[in-house]
């Protein structure tokens, strides 16, 4: 009998790149794999690139209706927790984005000066950015952007 080639289970392969926080459905499951540079995770599925949150929805919830976006209740682009994902039209997604102040021209949420100071102090003390983000319940990329000096320049220094 010929030896069967190893083909990884798609769930195992996908979840190996996710911090599931012990499958806690209330927490964001952060995609740790590749990203597109816009904050959204990116996964290769049978030779096609796909946003990680869309693939998570396909794998763990079901088919995505034609013309629908996969949206986040948590507003975290790298989150792939199926309990935080839902489908909606592009118009509904953009309305939700604007309502929550995430769209350009909206009243975006900004960190307070005290939070920025705390982030910088923790970074200076050698605390990893991911730990800071998780502890302070803020986006990992915000912390790394502050670390690089790309965001909040001159604030809290």
3-state secondary structure 126-150: CCCHHHHHHHHCCCHHHHHHHHHCC
Structure tokens at 10: 């798609």
Q: Give, for 76, the enclosing helix (H) or strand (E).
A: none
> Nearest to residue 59, comparing CAs of 45, 73, 38, 71?
45
Quick one: pLDDT band at residue 154, thresholds 50, 70, 90?
low
Q: What is the pLDDT of residues 83-139, one digit of tens each?
A: 999 999 988 888 877 776 565 443 344 678 888 889 999 999 999 999 998 888 788
The percentage of the chain sitting over the pLDDT mark of 70, rounded to a whole number, equals: 89
Q: Please name which of 133, 141, 93, 91 lies closest in space to residue 115, comparing C-alpha atoms.
A: 133
The fraction of the chain above a pLDDT of 90, given in percent, is 48
> In sequence order, what are the beta bridge partners of 49?
44
Nearest to 61 by CA among 39, 80, 47, 46: 80
Q: For residue 64, what are its two tokens?
A: 């995505």
**Interhelix angle for 140-148 vs 129-136, to 10°?**
130
């Amino acid at each position: 009998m010929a030896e069967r080639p190893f083909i990884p289970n798609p769930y195992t392969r996908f979840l190996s790149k996710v911090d599931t926080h012990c499958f806690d459905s209330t927490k964001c499951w952060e995609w740790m794999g590749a990203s597109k540079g816009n904050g959204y995770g990116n996964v290769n599925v049978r030779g096609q690139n796909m946003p990680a949150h869309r693939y998570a929805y396909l794998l763990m919830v079901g088919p995505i209706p034609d013309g629908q976006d996969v949206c986040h209740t948590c507003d975290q682009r790298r989150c792939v927790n199926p309990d935080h994902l839902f489908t909606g039209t592009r118009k509904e997604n953009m309305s939700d984005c604007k309502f929550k102040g995430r769209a350009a021209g909206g009243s975006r949420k900004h960190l307070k000066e005290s939070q920025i100071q705390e982030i910088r102090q923790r970074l200076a003390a050698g605390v990893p950015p991911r730990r800071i983000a998780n502890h302070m319940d803020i986006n990992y990329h915000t912390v790394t952007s502050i670390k690089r000096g790309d965001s909040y320049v001159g604030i809290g220094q």
